[in-house]
Structure formats: C-alpha cells, structure tokens
A and B are shown apart, each in its own frame.
Chain A
Amino acid sequence: MASPEDWSRAYARQARADLAARAVLCADGTLPVCAQLHFLQMACEKLCKAYLCRSGSDPQDLQTSHAYIAKTLPLIARELFVAEYGRDLSGRSWLMAHIRHFAREIELLAPAVDANRARRDNAEYPWEDASGMLIVPEQYEFPNLNFLSSAAGRSFLKLVAIAITELC
C-alpha cells in the first residue's frame, strides 16, 4: 500500500509534468492563453495536493475538489521564504500579498470553482457573462492573470517550480 510520502511524490511528479506541458504551450504563440493557464492551474493544484498528502489528507478525498490552491499555495511559498531568507520575512510581505492574489485567481481557473457563481470565467468551458454573451475560453484574454509577466508573477512561477522539484 502506498504511503503518504509515495502519494505526495506521485502528485508532485504529475505537477512537474503539467508544468513542463505549460512551458511547451507558452512557447507556441499560435495557441490560446487558456491552454497554458489550464496546465498552470493543474500543476498548482497537484502541488498543493502533494503537500496535503504528506500532511495526512486522504489522497482519494483530495480528488473530489479543485479548491485547494488559494489556501495551501501561500503557505508553501511562505515556508520556502523561511528556508531561503531566514526568519526575517518583513521584506517579502509585498510578494506574499501578490502570491495570495495569484493563488486565488489560479484556483478560479477550474470551472468547478466559481466563487458562488460570481466568477464564471475559467480555462476549460464556455460560460455566459453578465450580459448573457457566450464566452469561449479560447477567445478570452484572462485579464486577471496578466500578472504572470510581472516581477511578482515571475517570482511566483519560480516558487511553484521550486516547490514541485523539492517534493519529486
């Protein structure tokens, strides 16, 4: 029977594969942004589940929900900061605020996570906006996720990659 550590490593390895797939999609300028965001969402979700498996959560239970990123990913980032910068983290508070925002926006990319129908935008399925217009992810710009090209966004992506690698 697989141990919690086995499950954790398995989730982390699949997260690493999702992140590698995202890199390929990002490099192809002909593909819509929703494709790479979908893989980023999946990578972040599996990273969080890798940590939760290690913490004693039932791996089967974790497969029933996508809503783990907003709560778990900031904690993972913060512990990486402790490891990297020691205990004086006051200079990192600006980045932590960004990371919480990023984590929530990425969690909302899963169609099943819609903030009580307030956020129907997602990376997979079409949805109707407030005016009743049908929106296809393939055509959508995802303005709330423009951060990924900012300095904070790049730091965020680097942290995700480091955290995944540490568990593989």
Chain B
Amino acid sequence: MVDRSSSGASGQRSAATDQRPLDAAHWLGDDLLGDYAIDGQAPDGVVRPESRQQVAEVVRWARQENVALFPRGGGVHVPLGSPPGRRGVVLDLSRCNRVLDFQPSDLTVTVEAGITLDALQQHLATGGKFLPLESPISGAATIGGSLAANVTGPLRSSFGLPREWLIGIGVVNVQGVETKAGGKVVKNVTGYDLDKLYTGSLGTLGIIVEAAFKLAPLPAESGALMAVLPSMQAGVDSGSVLAKQVYAPQGLQVLEQRLARRLSRRIGVNPSLSGIQLPETGQGECVALALFSGRAAAVRRKLRESAAFLRDRGASQLTEVTGGQAARLHRAVTDLGWEQDDLPRLTLRVNVAPSDTGKALVWLSGSNEADYAPQAEMIPVDVIADPGFGMVRVFVWPDGPEGGADDAQSMDSRLRGNDDRRGEPQIRVDDAQQASFVSRVRELARGIGGSAVVERASPEFKGMVDVWGDSPEGSHIMERIKDKFDPTGIFNPGRFTGGI
C-alpha cells in the first residue's frame, strides 16, 4: 500500500524512478499525486504523454522495470474497480486528445483516446453528426475511459453498449507496440473482433490509445416527458410496456421519490437548468423521465402518445420539455450521483433481464418479505431504474437520503481518505450493514442470471466486499486472456473481475 508520505519523500525512490522515460515536464509534481489517488492510494507518479509514441515508450519502460500502470482519462471512472493489486504509476492519457479523421459523409470518426466526450460531440456537431455514447460528467470523461469502463447513460436501451459503435481500436500492447483491430469502415469481419474484447476490459489488456466509431446523424429535435406515478413498481411496470411500443422513448428512467427530490435540488443549484421544474412527488411516488429525439414530427407524436399511455396508467403531472431544455435535463439525470460535490458513499449497479427490473425493485423496497434485502430499511437507499435495459442503480448518500448537497463535501473528502485518519482504516457499523446489503442483493441478482457491481465505495468498504461479485461465467478463459496479454500484470493490476 502506498501512502503519500513515503512516495513524496525524495530519498526513497526506487531504481525505476531514476530511469523514468520522458522528461520531467511529462511527470506531475509529487505534491499533486494525492489528486490522482486510486481507492485512497496515491500513485508513485503520474506520467502525461503527449503522443502515442510516448505512451509506447512509457509501456516499454514499465515492462522493463515491472512498474504497474494505471491508465486514466478524465478520472471519472477511476472509482470503478477493486483496489489496485500493487503500487504503480498513473498513465494519464488526457493530452492525447486529437480528432484524427472525421468523415461526415462516411459517418465515421477516428480519435485519440484522451479526447473528452463533450469535445468530440462538439466537433462532430460541426458536421451534423453525433456519437451515440453517453457518460456522466462528459466534460471530463474521455473516450478511452468510457470504453474501458463500458459506460452507459439514460439512452442505453436504444444506444446499446459502447461496443455497438466502435469499429476500430488502437492499443499499446505489453511490449510497448501499438496494435490495431478493426478499421475505419462500418462493416468489417477481418480477423477476430478484438474491439469487443478491449471494450469493458478496464484497461487490463493494454493501453487504449485510438478509437474509430460509426456515427449517427444529429437529431433535429429532442424532447423529454416527466410524469408522476403512484409507486416505483407502477413506474417500472408502465415503463416496461412503454419501452415496447412503436412510439417508445429512446430511454426511460424511473426515479424514486427521494432521488427525484435530489435531482430537483441539483437542478435548482445549476443555473443552466433554470426553468426546468420537476413534478412534486408524495411519499412512495416516483418520477418517470422519458427522453426522445429524432425528426420533429416523430418526436411530437412520440411525446403525445407516450403521455397518453402514461396518463391511462395513472400518471399525473405530465410535463413536456423540448430542445435545449430536454438536452440539459438529460445531462442532469446522467450526472446524478457522479458530481464531485454530491457523491454517494455507495453506488451499486444491478443488471438483470429487462423483465426482471421490477423484481429487483422488490428486493430493495421490501414489498415482498421472502425476497426482501432487509438492510434496505436500515440503510435507506435511493434507486433509479431503467426498465427497458434491465438496470437498477442504487445510491447510498453520506448524509442520508433526505440530505442536501451542502454538507456532502466533508463526508466525501473523509471517504476519499483525505483526512488525518488515513492509515488506520475504520470499519463503521453501517459499512458492515452495507456489506450485508450488497451481498444479499447480489445473491438475489445471481439467482435470476443478473449481477450487482459496486461502482463507487470507500476503500474501507472495498476491503470488505468484492466490487465485482463472484467470478463471472467463463472466468477461466478471462484469466487465460489476461495471462497471455499481460503476463507480468502491469496493466491496471487487481482492479478487474476475479482479481484480473
């Protein structure tokens, strides 16, 4: 385990440190290493190459000196994963951020991995195109990080996973050589589809330095529909049916009342969201948020028919927003639970078959004694459900479910270990409750072919619960793949499933 006092002390540098590649300007000052901590551990160094050749140089050095490399884009998805298996160096790719080839008429783009999602979308918009890939905090989240973490957003039921849009990838392998798979054309079955393997591999097989995507035309109109339903279960049931209609929204989220209030408060403190009013909810009610985009006439009809559908099923306070406001609302719900000034102490992502979304809610709400995950009551959890995709995200807030954002900061810094108590981990009682809650939800999810991944938690909590859960099916093949690609374990060691 690394702590800041030893890594910052100049006299204790290893031999590897003395032979670091690239000049000092590419290495972050030691005083800033704490900002790059992974699960509370500051790295031994942060290297920030400016080109793919420099990335390759760093990897060759790391392999030679057996230094672990922790790839990083904007840092948004760094909390995902088990604590590092050993100390090492953060490889910051945010300077490798160029658009290499944008062909609007071919509907393709090739970029360096360090470009942020927002910067890319802005560039693509100049040619009337966009990439159907979402990430929270898209102003910081990079393409490489979003691919590695396999991230999705509220439109996941129509966009699919990032894999659906990736057509080519460049990866620096363990020898420090850049390898490619796929290409720049939208249809390609030449050789094995390593694009799929690297996507969602959390940087454990090599350093993603380049990615090519197929694109979609920028939609002419977007819209959002909000409605209050009498219960979470009613929201999810209606959402499941709505998702299968011809006028279905592109994405539909169902927010528990407490989470809806939190979203409302976030909107309140964000000037760019002024004018958007979330419906008022009473105890036990939920807010369904449906997002639409496409041609204007089609969006109008989808909004109209979806509203009628929800009204028939008992929805009230139906509110429509369109254009820029819909886009900003989309962003606000995407970012909920990811903003630095309002971070949950625990985020759990439950994935099940779409039709089991309601079942997953039952575990959390306690409406069925037999399946109930009992700690849900002792640790009041907030949930957001995506019935079209089969996902429920569970948040536990440091200040309790009804707390505001105001005092979140201090709790957050405590959780990140930036206080004096570092080094003497304290397992709080509620961590233990939380752990048994996660285990119970996981057991229930596994029983119906699903999974529950801890997306964010304190280092102490990660010491109590494997963030990925049991080894997935085919884990022996996964381990073999990792061994072949990275025999000495220098790429993001220990952070992925089964200790990969």
Question: Are A and B genuine complex partners?
Answer: no
Binding site for B on A (CB under 8 A): none
